[in-house]
Amino acid sequence: MMQIGFVQLTSKRVCYGEDGAMLYGKQSVDGNGYYFNTKTGAVTNGEKKIDGKWYYFGEDGVMQTGVQTVPTKNGGKKKVCYGEDGAMLYGKQKCGDNWYYLQAKTGAVMYGEQKIDGKWYYFDRQTGIMAVGIQTITMNSGSKKTVCYGADGAMCYGEQKIDGKWYLFDYKTGAMQTGMVKLSKKTVYYGADGAMRYGEQKINGKWYYFHMRTGAMQTGLQTVPLKNGGTKTVYYGTDGTMRYGEQKIKGKWYYFQQGTGAMQIGFAKVSGKTVYYGEDGAMRYEHQLIDGDYYYFHPKTGAMQTGLLDFGGDRWGFYGADGKQIPMIDAKTAIDAAHEFLKETISDEDLEIIKGHYVQYLSAEPEMVDGHSNPQYYIYAIVTEDDADFDENTDEDDVIYGDVIRVDAVTKECVYDTDVSGID
């Protein structure tokens, strides 16, 4: 009976075709590739060079494809890759789902860093598979670095957007950058994982703020969001660090809370003085209308003033312990009050003296007087014999009547002042 297919003879295994004839050379049997000795027809096992190309046939004679570990002539082993046609591959090749770099002469899988056509690639030191994406690699020197390989396996440099995040890789070494980095037009910050950071960041115990869209480090006054909602205005110096306490910015004084850095608005106790910061955070000076009340702040220090203040030009102001202005009368009003008081209280005897004469009223500047919480005016009521105006040239003998009335500058209460004697 005629044999078809594989047959094990005494010293060899052969194969007969459908026509019963023995097969020789490279053949396909049942979908598998084989190579039969061109003279004896024996099935070939192991490596075989055919038409200048190397192939590998397993123990069953089947031609191998893809990644294979094969023995070497010196008794060792090497990992190689055979194409779909069974021929050994060389250089950068895709075998199955992975890329490899195969030695140009032996076809052996290469490992570690490899420079191919001027570009650096990395092949896993255990598997030989080409790396893509962010990788921490062991260099040929033994040291490690984190780098990035593109979809083609070539090392990436400079700014790279990976999975929606920005990274920076050294322009020469490809090493992933972390920490503060000054780019051409902005300073940014990359976290320990290399990804660019945004918003508030605490770095070495100090707070910084990076633009939410560009990642650029911010300086100066900035309004930043709070974690629990809302915003706060803070100040970052030229080095990007958050500032606290008193800060002079463009000639104006501001105050930033010690714990949060939030810009102070309104009243604050600073360096032993009470000051006031407006809605823009800048310190206010001199007259200020706050919540319906007037206050006065020192024109140089900004310190809130209390008590009786002389603004010059016969302008006075009186401020309580809380800094609020307390309305006070002027000298003319004080004289009017003193005049009415004198009319109501003068004795008959004194009235007879001044009857038919002109009463001249002179006012001293308001002053604080011991025992009184409000400023006081001293009003001098004087009558001369010839009704002449009283001045420094008036002879005392010409004065026929003189009295001192103290007028409260707030309540207009009047009393004869017995503590003031004589008329200066």
Per residue in 286-324, pLDDT (tens digit) is 999 999 999 999 999 999 999 999 999 999 999 999 999
Contact partners, residue 121, CB within 8 Å, separation at least 6: 92, 101, 113, 114, 115, 130, 131, 149, 153, 154, 155
In whole angstroms, give the CA distance from residue 43 to residue 328. Answer: 123
Nearest-angstrom CA–CA distance, 110 and 322: 83
Average pLDDT value for residue range 272-280 = 97
Which DSSP letter does residue 194 get? S
pTM for this predicted structure:
0.74
State pLDDT tens for residues 194-207: 999 999 999 999 99
Query: 348: part of which helix (H) or strand (E)?
Result: helix 348-354
- Mean pLDDT (whole number) for 166-194: 96
Q: What is the mean pLDDT of residues 106-125?
A: 94
Give pLDDT tens digits for 385-409. Answer: 998 888 888 888 889 999 999 999 9
343 and 365 Cβ atoms separated by less than 8 Å: no
The DSSP line for 239-251 is: TSPBP-EEEEETT
CA distance 115 to 27: 39
Does the structure show a pLDDT above 60 at 264?
Answer: yes
Which one-letter DSSP state was computed for residue 397?
A: G
In sequence order, the 6+-apart residues with CB closer than 8 A to the CB of 400 are 353, 354, 357, 383, 384, 385
Spatial distance between the Cα atoms of 386 and 382, rounded to a whole number of angstroms? 12
Q: CA–CA distance from 283 to each of 28, 248, 280, 298 (Å)?
A: 93, 10, 9, 11
Please say if the pLDDT value at position 140 is more than 50: yes
Query: Is 248:255 a contact under the CB 8 Å cutoff?
Result: no
> Cα 231 vs. chain centroid, distance in angstroms?
14
**Cα–Cα nearest to 46, from 56, 32, 34:** 56
Radius of gyration of the chain (CA): 51
The helix (H) or strand (E) run that includes residue 332 is helix 331-345
| DSSP string across 270-328 | ETTEEEEE-TTSPBP-EEEEETTEEEEE-TTT-PBP-EEEEEETTEEEEE-TTS-B---
Predicted confidence band of residue 424 (pLDDT cuts 50, 70, 90): very low
End-to-end, the C-alpha distance of the chain in Å comes to 158
Inter-residue contact 157 to 170 (CB < 8 Å): yes
The per-residue pLDDT for range 57-102, each reduced to its tens digit, is 999 999 999 999 999 888 899 999 999 999 999 999 999 999 999 9
Q: Answer whether 56's CB lies under 8 Å from 47's CB.
A: yes
The winner for highest mean pLDDT among 7-16, 230-239, 346-355 is: 230-239
Task: Output the pLDDT for position 218.
Answer: 98
Per-residue pLDDT, 200: 95
Q: Are 308 and 376 in contact (CB under 8 A)?
A: no
Residue 172 above 50 pLDDT?
yes
Run of H or E residues at 159: strand 158-162
Q: What is the pLDDT of residue 419?
A: 61
pLDDT above 90 as % of the chain: 88
**Cβ atoms of 134 and 168 closer than 8 Å:** no
Beta bridge partners of 283: 277
Instruction: Write the pLDDT tens digit of every residue in 213-223.
Output: 999 999 999 99
Q: Which amino acid is at 351?
A: L
Residue-averaged pLDDT of the chain = 94
If you count them, how many residues does the chain have?
Answer: 424
Alpha-carbon torsion angle 128, 130, 133, 137, nearest 10: 40
Percent of the chain at pLDDT exceeding 70: 98
Q: How far apart are CA 161 and CA 93, in angstroms?
A: 27
pLDDT over threshold 90, residue 138: no
φ, ψ dihedrals at 396, nearest 5°: -60, -30
Phi, psi for 333 (deg, rounded to 5)? -65, -35
Q: Is the pLDDT of residue 421 over 50?
A: no
In the three-class reduction of DSSP (H, G, I as helix; E, B as strand; rest coil), residue 78 is classed as strand
